[in-house]
Amino acid sequence: MATVAEGGFPEVGGTPRDAALLGDLEVVGRLAASSNVAVLVRLLAADDAYAIYKPVRGEQPLWDFPEGTLAGREVAAHLVSEAGGWHLVPATVLRDGPLGAGSVQRWVGDPFTPLPDDQVVDLAPAGSVPPGWLPTFSAETSTGEPVTVVHAATDDVRALAVLDAVINNSDRKGSHCLRDAAGRLWAIDHGVTFHATPKLRTVLWGWSGDPLTDADLGRLERLRDALDDPAVGLAEALETLLPHTDVLALRERVARLLRLRRHPRPSPGWPAVPWPPL
């Protein structure tokens, strides 16, 4: 069964708990560019470790996400990523903090040292796709130069595209796909996910309509089984983080992906790419 640990973090069977995220926090500063309040904090229970703290009270109301909280969706994305075996979303908890309840997520890398650029999504000259990359769409730079937006054609990026379809990610920008110093892929910023209405917007459309890999079919089956197993506690935990209709829709998306066994295509009548895309 799911339990609520100190600080309000749902413990789910098979999902390791990051104890440092539940320890004392030291505020370093606010990320001024964020549309919602986002605070860089130091994890005092770990050496040279940081996290991003997003308090619920700092969330801007969204007309298309009127129910639930962005913080709850951030935590839910981590739980689903772990339960299915994607392991792409950094450890994230729901807990009290200096500005009240909110999500606290491990920072990828060192916040004072930029990560390598253009590892996942990049711009190429118009009509030109480098080896090992896939095209997403054509665009123009701010100076009017025609370009093609491309993304890496690696297995881990492909797995992320499937995870985004599962969680109905409405805002998969290129800057939300990070590789750490060791080259491991991480995905961040999942506040607008899990809506019951199809809202998939992403820059990772390179496999649109292609058959799913055996690895991702296995992850989908693992997630389906975790949702169905009360002993795992995943469904119960998600019910504490998301509106009930969003949990039902998650189950339906997993079932649909397993039935069709293909990457989704962009939905007509809905913007397929977030803005800004990078």
pLDDT digits (tens, 9 = 90+) for 89-111: 999 999 999 999 999 999 998 88
Alpha-carbon Rg of the chain, whole angstroms?
18
Evaluate whether residue 145 is within a structural domain: no
Range of the domain at 62: 3-114+154-260
pLDDT tier at 4, thresholds 50, 70, 90:
very low
Evaluate whether residue 129 is within a structural domain: no
| Cis peptide upstream of residue 276 (ω within 30 degrees of 0) | yes
DSSP H helix total and E strand total for the chain: 5, 12
Give 273 or 244, the one with higher predicted confidence: 244
Q: Which residue has the tokens 């197993």?
A: 229
pLDDT tier at 63, thresholds 50, 70, 90:
confident
Question: What is the total count of domains within the chain?
Answer: 1
pLDDT at 16 > cutoff 70:
no
* H/E stretch holding 81: helix 70-84
pLDDT tier at 11, thresholds 50, 70, 90:
low
pLDDT tier at 61, thresholds 50, 70, 90:
confident
Q: Tens of pLDDT along 248-261?
A: 999 999 999 999 99
Evaluate whether residue 139 is within a structural domain: no
Q: Which residue has the tokens 């007509």?
A: 268
Give me the percent of the chain exceeding a pLDDT of 70.
Answer: 94
Please, what is the average pLDDT of the chain?
89
Burial of 121 (0-12, 13-18, 19+ CB in 10 A): buried
As a whole number, mean pLDDT of residues 177-197 equals: 93
pLDDT at 3: 37
pLDDT at 66: 83
Whether this prediction's pTM lies above 0.95 is answered by no
Evaluate whether residue 269 is within a structural domain: no
pLDDT at 12: 62
Q: Tens of pLDDT along 109-153?
A: 888 888 777 789 998 888 889 999 999 988 887 788 898 999 999
Evaluate whether residue 271 is within a structural domain: no
pLDDT at 200: 95
Q: Are 263 and 165 in contact (CB under 8 A)?
A: yes
CB contact set of 180 (below 8 Å; sequence gap of 6+): 108, 109, 115, 186
pLDDT tier at 169, thresholds 50, 70, 90:
very high
As a whole number, mean pLDDT of residues 187-206 equals: 95
Evaluate whether residue 246 is within a structural domain: yes
Evaluate whether residue 37 is within a structural domain: yes
As a whole number, mean pLDDT of residues 215-220 equals: 98
Evaluate whether residue 142 is within a structural domain: no
CB contact set of 127 (below 8 Å; sequence gap of 6+): 148
